[in-house]
């Protein structure tokens, strides 16, 4: 050793393998994030529905998948579903028969449960006065939701979504337990081969830090863009004869909304 906490030569030698692991980590992060968010929207609307059955089913989904530890959920999907004979003989076995597919499913379900509550809280946080003012200006309820309520809900929930994504990225490290060679798995392999615990683990931590901060910067830029464009999008949806003092008031409300 050279007195440093890491071995620079080993770090350089391990760089290609760590980069390959980082690619797997980015893929195993991106796909469940997209699938989970897409699944969260209908579950959120069901959760907010006035009909009891959809609301109850959505609540059960959220309580179960948000309450179950991610590692346990991964084990249930990876080991448990394989015991179902009908699944093993069906077309879905292409997905559930591989560690990668099982990890995607488990992570997506977990993310969907958390995002359902983020979306629900954000939509409920939109002031009712802004929605009523938009409808009073002649905007259809559909356009009010798309151009007024949803953009404001995104702004309200942006920080919560950012925190969920960052936690999710770090949580993907557990997929190494089902033989997926992500960044953590590569670092552990290098450690086992070289008996140097610090160099590969610190290098992996540096890659995770860079990945997380890249996401943080992206969310910051997204938030600034939303602040600039929300009010302008509302103006486009309102017919020209209705513009005036009421429009100025509505645009002002949207600009000052946090």
158-172 pLDDT, tens digit per residue, is 999 999 999 999 999
pLDDT at 156: 86
Residue 69 pLDDT more than 60?
yes
Judge whether 1 lies within some domain.
no
End-to-end alpha carbon distance in the chain: 52
Question: pTM value?
Answer: 0.83
Judge whether 2 lies within some domain.
no
* Angle formed by the axes of helices 150-171 and 8-47, nearest 10°: 140
Indicate the range of 101-115, 189-203, 209-223, 241-255 predicted with least confidence: 241-255
pLDDT at 241: 41
Domain count, the chain: 1
- What is the pLDDT confidence band of residue 4, given thresholds at 50, 70 and 90? low
How is residue 149 written in tokens?
Answer: 């309520």
Judge whether 215 lies within some domain.
yes
Range of the domain at 160: 8-256
Judge whether 198 lies within some domain.
yes
Q: Hunting for tokens 């200006």 — which residue is that?
A: 137
Judge whether 213 lies within some domain.
yes
Judge whether 3 lies within some domain.
no
91 CB burial (10 A radius; 0-12, 13-18, 19+):
exposed
Judge whether 49 lies within some domain.
yes
Contact, 119 vs 39, CB < 8 A?
Answer: no
Q: Convert 25-38 to b/e letters by CB count within 10 Å (16 or more is b).
A: bbebbeebbebbbe
pLDDT at 254: 53
CATH number of the domain enclosing 120: 1.10.3720.10
DSSP code, position 146: I
pLDDT at 236: 47
């Amino acid at each position: 050793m050279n007195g440093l906490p890491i071995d620079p030569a080993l770090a350089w030698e391990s760089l290609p393998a760590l980069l390959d692991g980082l690619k797997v980590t980015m893929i195993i992060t991106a796909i469940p994030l997209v699938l989970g968010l897409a699944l969260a929207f209908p579950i959120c609307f069901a959760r907010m529905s006035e009909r009891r059955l959809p609301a109850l089913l959505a609540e059960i989904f959220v309580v179960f998948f948000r309450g179950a530890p991610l590692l346990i959920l991964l084990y249930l999907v990876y080991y448990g579903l394989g015991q179902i004979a009908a699944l093993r003989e069906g077309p879905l076995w292409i997905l559930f028969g591989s560690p990668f597919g099982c990890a995607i499913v488990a992570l997506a379900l977990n993310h969907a449960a958390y995002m359902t509550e983020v979306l629900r809280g954000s939509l409920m946080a939109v002031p009712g006065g802004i929605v009523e003012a938009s409808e009073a200006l002649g905007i259809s309820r559909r356009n009010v939701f798309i151009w007024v309520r949803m953009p404001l809900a995104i702004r309200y929930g942006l920080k919560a979504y950012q925190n969920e994504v960052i936690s999710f990225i770090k949580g993907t490290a557990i997929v190494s337990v089902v033989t997926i060679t992500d960044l953590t798995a590569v670092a552990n392999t290098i450690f086992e081969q070289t008996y140097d615990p610090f160099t590969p683990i610190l290098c992996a931590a540096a890659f995770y830090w860079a990945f997380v901060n890249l996401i943080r910067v992206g969310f910051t830029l997204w938030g600034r863009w939303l602040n600039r464009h929300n009010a302008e999008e509302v103006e486009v949806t309102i017919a020209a004869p209705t513009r005036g003092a009421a429009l100025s008031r509505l645009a002002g409300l949207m600009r000052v909304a946090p």
